[in-house]
Chain A
Amino acid sequence: MKGTKELLTWKEIIPGNVILNPGNAREYRTGDWRSQRPVWDFERCIMCGMCYAFCPDAAIFEREDGYYEADYYYCKGCGICAEECPKKAISMVEE
């Protein structure tokens, strides 16, 4: 999380160190931690959404066509989605 916010001056700090922008930690690229990446086999996928429900990082999103996919900006590569997929439609691939 590099940027000027890390270097706020004391005058820029809101009283009580309150943070006014909800969820602004979204800037932080947790995807950098990843050594493996989940890849979907849409032939097998039944769009059940289990991968979405079990993702600790809310890094799996539903596409417009109803299939699910990882947002690699955030995906830490834990492999839960691949482990839990009832159709074994997700495989973990080395980065």
Chain B
Amino acid sequence: MKTKKPTPYNQLSKEEFFLSGHRACQGCAEALAVRLVQKAAGRDTIVACATGCMEIVSSPFPFTSWNLPWIHVAFENTAAVASGVEAGLKALMRKGKLPQRDIKVIAMAGDGGTSDIGLQALSGALERGHNLTYVCYDNEAYMNTGIQRSSATPFGASTTTSPAGKKVPGQITWKKNMPEIAVAHQIPYVATACPSYPIDLIQKVQKAISKPGPAYIHILSVCPTGWRIPSNLAIKVGRLAVRTGIFPLYEVEDGIYRITQKTSKLLPVKEYLTIQGRFRHLTEELISQIQERVNQEYELLLKKVAMTQGEKKEE
């Protein structure tokens, strides 16, 4: 008879809020990320969800995969809807129309709903300082409508509106840096996360919801369908994104940067790129361009860490 040793994984809460029966594709790491975020946030949570994959897979009327109060309104306004929920609860509790209770408000949207069409509403909500956590599930394209490029699609990726052609090698713009845009709002908490690192993700969600004011979490959510990888590799590919430095895991707490998954030496980006169908067409030259860019951005991140950590020590 074996004895069960506690691990962070077998000690996770058994409560589920994004339930089985949802219609996400096989191996969808975004669905996993949603499951983990809601596990971390717990029962006293209201979710506002943008139009997109997660909305479609979870709410075919009259059925729902949500074991939480959940509202979907439109594509670009999730941050505003969540602002309204927060403002409504605040007013009702202050006026004694509802009993005082700590209810967390979580807004969720994809990369299109966040860095493209929802950017204005998000900026407004962060600037106004609502007490909510905004989670961007970034699968790097408009997957729900059929893998069209977004401003979060990385350089070189082939999508249906940035196809790898004879003349143009897929997406020719660099991924918009959403976490930095959130940081520029000087909100209490910004973090990147990836469900390949579930414990890191859960800790960040818990930190985000426990801090008063707005928080922003940007979750790289591997999409086997859109990235053209086998469904069983979704976790592995997410891990490679982190270990190559393409998607570093860090947090910015009250302006202070901290890398939460440290890597002594980054793996070459090639290891990440070549296992994905969307990058299959990339030449050595393009791969080295990407490598150079990743090195630069990672260096910059390290500088921000050093600079802000330095300030922290001075205090």
**Bound: A54/B65 CA distance, A:** 18
Q: Does B261 contact A (CB under 8 A)?
A: no
Known pairs A25-B21, A28-B63; A55 contacts B68 (CB<8 A): no
In the complex, the answer to whether B236 meets A83 with C-beta atoms within 8 Å is yes
Q: Does A93 contact B (CB under 8 A)?
A: no
CB closest chain-A residue, reference B12: A53
Q: Does B234 contact A (CB under 8 A)?
A: yes
In the complex, the answer to whether B20 meets A54 with C-beta atoms within 8 Å is no
Q: Could you tell me the distance in whole angstroms from the C-beta of B45 to the nearest C-beta in chain A?
A: 12
Residues in chain A near residue B21, CB distance under 8 A: 23, 25-30, 74
Question: Which single member of A8, A22, A26, A83 contacts B233 (CB below 8 Å)?
Answer: A83
In the complex, the answer to whether B35 meets A58 with C-beta atoms within 8 Å is yes
In the complex, the answer to whether A78 meets B26 with C-beta atoms within 8 Å is yes
Question: Which single member of B14, B28, B32, B232 contacts A83 (CB below 8 Å)?
Answer: B232
CB closest chain-A residue, reference B63: A25
Q: Does B29 contact A (CB under 8 A)?
A: yes
Residues of chain A at interface, number, CB under 8 A: 44
In the complex, the answer to whether A74 meets B232 with C-beta atoms within 8 Å is no
Known pairs A48-B7, A53-B198; A76 contacts B12 (CB<8 A): no
Q: Does B31 contact A (CB under 8 A)?
A: yes
**Bound: A41/B233 CA distance, A:** 21
Q: Could you tell me the distance in whole angstroms from the C-beta of B2 to the nearest C-beta in chain A?
A: 7
**Bound: A84/B196 CA distance, A:** 10
A interface, over-half SS: loop
**Bound: A83/B21 CA distance, A:** 22
Known pairs A78-B27, A83-B235; A58 contacts B19 (CB<8 A): yes
**Bound: A13/B62 CA distance, A:** 9
Which of A1, A28, A55 has the most chain B CB atoms closer than 10 A to its own CB?
A: A28
Q: Does B231 contact A (CB under 8 A)?
A: yes
Q: Does A39 contact B (CB under 8 A)?
A: no
In the complex, the answer to whether A76 meets B35 with C-beta atoms within 8 Å is no
Q: Could you tell me the distance in whole angstroms from the C-beta of B67 to the nearest C-beta in chain A?
A: 4
In the complex, the answer to whether B62 meets A5 with C-beta atoms within 8 Å is yes
**Bound: A48/B234 CA distance, A:** 20
Q: Does B298 contact A (CB under 8 A)?
A: no
Q: Could you tell me the distance in whole angstroms from the C-beta of A26 to the nearest C-beta in chain B?
A: 4
Q: Does B18 contact A (CB under 8 A)?
A: yes
Interface string of B258-300 (1 = CB under 8 A from A): 0000000000000000000000000000000000000000000
Interface of B with A (CB < 8 Å)? 2, 4-5, 7, 9-12, 14, 16, 18-24, 26-29, 31-32, 35-36, 58-68, 195, 198, 224, 230-236
Supply 13 A–B pairs (Cβ within 8 Å), ascending by A: A23-B19, A23-B64, A23-B66, A25-B58, A27-B63, A33-B26, A47-B2, A53-B198, A56-B31, A74-B20, A74-B21, A77-B26, A80-B234
